[in-house]
């Protein structure tokens, strides 16, 4: 039978497995396996050619028991409500595992930003904020950038919110440009958190990171910084990287500066000097110590999991591994750093951004990084210790830590 690759079905299956291990009360189980609130809306946008195009937008507030909901907004042609639901669930578990006082949310618009002008994107971003403005805010729900949204888009959304509310409230959105109250260190934060988890894993496994081989799928914000940080901080030898057009390989290791220059010049990693071509599927199956999926969902499945040779999989992407693949990889003894732990660095620094906005006092990058390192290291060991204590895979352990914390807040509030 073929696997169900619907991301929300996968998120629910993962949650169900953990709820069973936790022996979660059935009423709590039923409450936590669905989003608390969803907003579906149509955004009319005046296009440059004079036509009006209607875009479908979503905001899902999965759970806000531990604090205001928090999560990015994606602009993507293949966006679906189930993808947004899944990502909002993972945000809930992510903020809980990182132990920051926030809940989980996610948003999305079905659109192709590559085919839109900057003016059209601005009108879409403002239209998105107009639709959700009554339901977001410092104490309700705080959006952020995600796939194909960026600091400029956050700036337009912030401005629209402040025009509507009539006052300045920078903490209503994170991932802003620095000059509008963004945090130092936000852009590399997700990758930084990921390499901290790789460092801690290597210590546990007794793996020498200097010279250890690594392959990275996806070379956007997360993948490109993962390459640079892994190379610069630990001397990890990244032998392959890829983007949606294909991958590149060099047995001697790829220099992040050279790849970044080539990407800037050509728009893709393919053809980078000193490298040979490799397909995305072959990259995943390379004989490397560390595999970093940093692109999209459902890349490691029941079809290819048996061919994976890496000892560590650091899931910087959300949902890169399916439940069928998990079963195969766990049986092989691969050390998986599960997504909502591995990529929690981004939301952690978003939380730091909210704190700095509230105080109107800003930290330098070194302070942001040291506090990020501390938070992620603590979260990593909470999950590892849970896995050891309960003899469960890391993903289940991450759920056990996160779900217990969210369930406790729900219980204390008297909701269930
Ligand atoms: P991005 O849009 O900047 O980059 C995505 C990269 O993946 C691009 O290089 C793109 O070409 C590549 N890609 C797309 N489809 C692919 C495919 N089929 N095969 C191989 N490569 C493909 O996005 P990002 O911000 O780097 O996010 C990457 C992943 O990390 C996503 O799963 C995202 O949800 C997750 N994530 C991002 C953040 C963040 O702070 N940006 C935080 C947490 C999780």
Residue from 221, 350, 376 to probe ligand 1 pocket by mutation (most atoms less than 8 Å from CB): 221
- Residue-level pLDDT at 28: 98
Residue 318 near ligand 1, beta carbon < 6 Å: yes
Tokens of 242: 């890829």
Q: Kindly give the pairing relationship between strand 52-63 and strand 104-110.
A: antiparallel
174 ligand 1 Cβ < 6 A:
no
Order of strands across the sheet that contains 335-337: 276-278, 246-249, 237-243, 213-217, 290-293, 312-314, 335-337
Please list the rounded mean pLDDT of every run of 10 residues in the chain (416 residues). Answer: 86 96 97 98 98 98 98 96 97 98 98 97 98 96 94 98 96 97 96 98 98 97 97 98 97 98 98 97 98 95 98 96 96 97 98 97 97 98 98 97 98 98
Ligand 1 center from residue 318 Cα (angstroms): 9
Q: What is the pLDDT of residue 4?
A: 84
The residues spanned by each domain of the chain are 37-171, 189-342
| Model confidence pTM above 0.85 | yes
Q: Does domain 189-342 have CATH number 3.40.50.170?
A: no
Check residue 2 and give its pLDDT. Answer: 75
Atom of ligand 1 nearest to the CA of 247: 20
CATH architecture of 37-171: 3-Layer(aba) Sandwich (3.40)
DSSP SS3 for 402: helix
Whether ligand 1 lies within 6 angstroms of the CB of 345 is answered as: no
Among the options 70, 94, 106, 176, which is catalytic? Answer: 106
295 Cα–ligand 1 center, Å: 4
User: Is 241 close to ligand 1, i.e. is its CB under 6 Å away?
Assistant: no
Cα separation, 156 vs 118, in Å, equals 11
Cα(147) to centroid(ligand 1), Å? 6
**Interval between CA 211 and ligand 1 midpoint (Å):** 25
309 is catalytic: no
- Ligand 1: which residue has its CA nearest to atom 36? 317
Residue 315 Cα, ligand 1 centroid: separation in angstroms? 11
Q: Whose CA is nearest to atom 4 of ligand 1?
A: 220
- Which atom in ligand 1 lies closest to the alpha carbon of residue 344? 43
Q: Is the CB of 242 under 6 A from ligand 1?
A: yes
Domain 189-342 in the same topology as domain 37-171: yes
pLDDT at 1: 58
The answer, yes or no, to whether any atom of ligand 1 lies below 6 A from the CB of 346, is yes
Phi, psi of 91 (to 5 degrees): -65, -40
Three-state secondary structure readout of 173-215: CCCCCHHHCCCCCCCCHHHHHHHHHHHHHHHHHCCCCCCCEEE
């Amino acid at each position: 039978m073929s696997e169900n690759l619907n991301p929300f079905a996968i998120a629910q299956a993962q949650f169900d497995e953990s709820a069973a291990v936790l022996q979660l009360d059935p009423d709590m189980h039923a409450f936590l396996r669905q989003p608390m609130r969803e907003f579906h809306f149509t955004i009319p946008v005046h296009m440059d050619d004079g036509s009006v195009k209607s875009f479908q937008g979503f905001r899902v507030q999965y759970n806000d028991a531990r604090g205001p909901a928090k999560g990015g907004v994606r602009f993507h042609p293949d966006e679906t409500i189930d993808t947004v639901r899944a990502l909002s669930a993972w945000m809930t578990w992510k903020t809980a595992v990182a132990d920051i006082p926030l809940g989980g949310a996610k948003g999305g618009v079905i659109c192709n930003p590559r085919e839109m002008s900057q003016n059209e994107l601005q009108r879409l971003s403002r239209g998105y904020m107009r639709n959700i403005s009554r339901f977001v805010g410092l104490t309700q729900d705080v959006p952020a950038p995600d796939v194909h949204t960026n600091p400029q888009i956050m700036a337009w959304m912030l401005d629209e919110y402040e025009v509507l509310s009539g006052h300045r409230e920078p903490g209503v959105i994170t991932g802003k440009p620095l000059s509008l109250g963004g945090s130092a260190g936000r852009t590399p934060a997700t990758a930084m958190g990921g390499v901290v988890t790789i460092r801690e894993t290597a210590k546990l496994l007794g793996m020498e990171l200097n010279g250890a081989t690594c392959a990275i799928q996806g070379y956007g914000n997360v993948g490109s910084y993962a390459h640079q940080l892994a190379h610069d901080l630990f001397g990890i030898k990244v032998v392959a990287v890829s983007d949606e057009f294909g991958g590149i390989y060099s047995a001697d290791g790829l220099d992040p500066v050279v790849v970044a220059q080539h990407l800037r010049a050509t728009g893709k990693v393919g053809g980078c000097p000193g490298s040979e071509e490799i397909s995305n599927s072959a990259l995943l199956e390379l004989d490397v110590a560390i595999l970093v999926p940093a692109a999209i969902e459902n890349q490691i499945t029941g079809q290819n999991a048996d061919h994976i040779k890496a000892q560590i999989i650091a899931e910087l992407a959300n949902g890169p591994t399916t439940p069928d693949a998990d079963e195969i990889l766990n049986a092989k003894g691969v050390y998986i750093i599960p997504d909502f732990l591995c990529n929690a660095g981004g939301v952690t620094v978003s939380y730091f951004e909210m704190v700095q906005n509230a105080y109107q006092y800003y930290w330098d990058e070194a302070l942001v990084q040291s506090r990020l390192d501390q938070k992620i290291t603590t979260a990593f060991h909470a999950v590892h210790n849970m896995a050891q204590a309960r003899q469960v895979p890391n993903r289940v352990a991450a759920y056990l830590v996160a779900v217990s914390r969210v369930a406790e807040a729900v219980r204390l509030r008297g909701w269930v």
